[in-house]
Structure formats: structure tokens, C-alpha cells
Amino acid sequence: MIQATQKSKSLSTKHLRSMLEGKSTQLRAQLKNPSANVVLHASGDPYDSADWAEKSHEEWIFLQKNRFDVTLLREIEAALDRMREGTYGVCMECGLPLSRKRLEALPWARYCVSCQESRNTTDNN
């Protein structure tokens, strides 16, 4: 019984590592080849404020997505580091194991649901 549980855990960890590595590769490719042109080009009319406003808004959206992707990539790399260190799957706040469902949904999770909710409540105050 113990061997079956350990084998299941090992397969699950391999699956989660594969998910993390795949997402990391995807994010790195996106960051290397941005699909948006963020350079603001002047239109034929340098005083066309609507054109500048639209391009500025597009640039803001691109930069926000880029910032999100970089943050997510750092979280994924930290999760892979925790796997190498043997601390993956354990809440960094309370030390309890993270549920398999949580890790399947968010393989880079650092905290259990309760601790994450507490942190979110504290951050919002």
C-alpha cells in the first residue's frame, strides 16, 4: 500500500514538473517574441490625439501582460526550485501539505487555500 502511494506521488510530481516546465517554456517564448508592437508611431497627423491615445492604451495593455507573464515565470521557476529542494507541495506559511487539487489547478502555488486567503485579506487592508 505504501509503495503504491509513493509511486502515485512520484507520477503526480512528474506530471506537475512537466506542467511547470511546459508553462515556463511557453512564457519564455512569448517574452522573446512579443506579438504586439509597443513602439508608438506618429500618424500622418502628429496632432491626432485619438491615434496617440489608442496606441498608448495598446502599449499599456502590452506592458501589463508582459509584467504578469514575468511574475508568473518567476513563480514557476520558484516552484521548480522547491521541487529540486524537496519542499514542493508544502505550504510556506503553515507547513501543511497542499492538496493535489490545488497543485493540479495551480502547480506553482506556495500556500494552502486558507493561508492564501489570509494573505489576500491582509494585502487588501
Domain residue ranges of the chain, discontinuous segments joined by +: 2-88, 91-125
Instruction: Give the pLDDT of residue 22.
Output: 96
With CA atoms as reference, report the closest residue to 70 among 123, 34, 40.
34
Q: How many Cβ atoms sit within 10 Å of the Cβ of residue 49?
A: 9
Q: How many Cβ atoms sit within 10 Å of the Cβ of residue 79?
A: 23
Burial class (CB in 10 A: 0-12, 13-18, 19+), 13: middle
Read off the pLDDT of each residue in 77-96 and give the average, rounded to a whole number. 96
Query: pTM for this one?
Result: 0.73
Alpha-carbon gap, residue 13 to 16, rounded angstroms:
5
Percent of the chain with pLDDT over 70: 78
Q: What stretches of 33-99 show up as alpha helix (H) in DSSP?
A: 49-85
Residues 30-76: tens digit of each pLDDT: 888 866 545 545 455 556 777 777 888 888 898 999 999 999 999 99
Read off the pLDDT of each residue in 102-115 and give the average, rounded to a whole number. 95
Contacts of 13 (CB under 8 A, 6+ apart): 83, 88, 89
Grid cell of 26 as nine digits: 511557453
